[in-house]
Each structure stands twice: as C-alpha cells, then as structure tokens.
Amino acid sequence: MIRHIKRLFKSFRYAWHGVQYNFRTQQNFKIHCTCAVLAIIGAIILKFSYFEWIALGFTIFLVIILEAVNTAIEEAVNCATKEMNENAKRAKDSAACAVLIGAFMAVLMGAALYIPKIISLIRG
C-alpha cells in the first residue's frame, strides 16, 4: 500500500516538473497562463455566476492542456528525428492547430461570458 502511495506522489512530482518546464520554456504557455489570470480577475470583478465560473474554468484548462500536449508532441517529434521532414512538420503543425482552435474557442467563450456582463455594467 505504501509503495502505491509513493508511486502516486512520484507521478504528481513528475507532472509538476512538466508544469515547471512548460512555464519556464514555452512562451505561449506563459501567455495562456497570463490570460487565464486576467480572465479570473475579470470574472471576480464582474461577479460571475456559478455556471459562468464552470464555463470559464473549463475553457481556461482546455487551452492550457492543449498547449502542454502541443509541447509534448513537439518534444517527442524532436526526439524521433533531428532532420526536417514533412511528417514531422505535419505532426507539429497539427498539434499547433489544436491549440489555435482551442484559443479561438476561448475567445468566443470569453465574448459570450464577458460582453453581456460589460454591457449590463455600462447600462447600470
């Protein structure tokens, strides 16, 4: 039992190393995290409802997850081949495409969540 608990904590430590690596080395990961903090501050100011918080949370985590997976795919492709080839390029481009689509969806979700609140705030 203790061996299983130790293994579990080791896996959490490895995951935390991944978070640190992404934050230290990936510019877009930092950008997404900064946007997430700003979105959370905006949600606090605009007094988001429970369901708005859920939508915001899912959206934030989706984009950050996609960025981490993109980095993992890029690093794996870099390990598999040092040469530039069309398959490696397609793999990296497809991973980046997933992040781009996720970020675009986040912008749409942000508009749906924030614009009505801002309009309501302006109208008083």
CATH code of the domain covering residue 115:
1.10.287.3610
In contact, 16 and 6? CB cutoff 8 Å: no
Question: Is residue 78 in a domain?
Answer: yes
Residue 30 or residue 124, greater confidence:
30
Question: Is residue 72 in a domain?
Answer: yes
Question: Is residue 109 in a domain?
Answer: yes
Catalytic residue, from 67, 75, 83, 86: name it: 67
What ranges in the chain are assigned the alpha helix state H? 2-25, 27-45, 50-80, 86-123
Residue 86 annotated among the catalytic residues of the structure: no
Find out whether 67 is annotated in a ligand binding site.
Answer: yes
Question: Is residue 5 in a domain?
Answer: no
Question: Is residue 85 in a domain?
Answer: yes
Statement: residue 124 has pLDDT above 90: no
Banded pLDDT at 84 (limits 50, 70, 90): confident
Q: How many structural domains are present in the chain?
A: 1
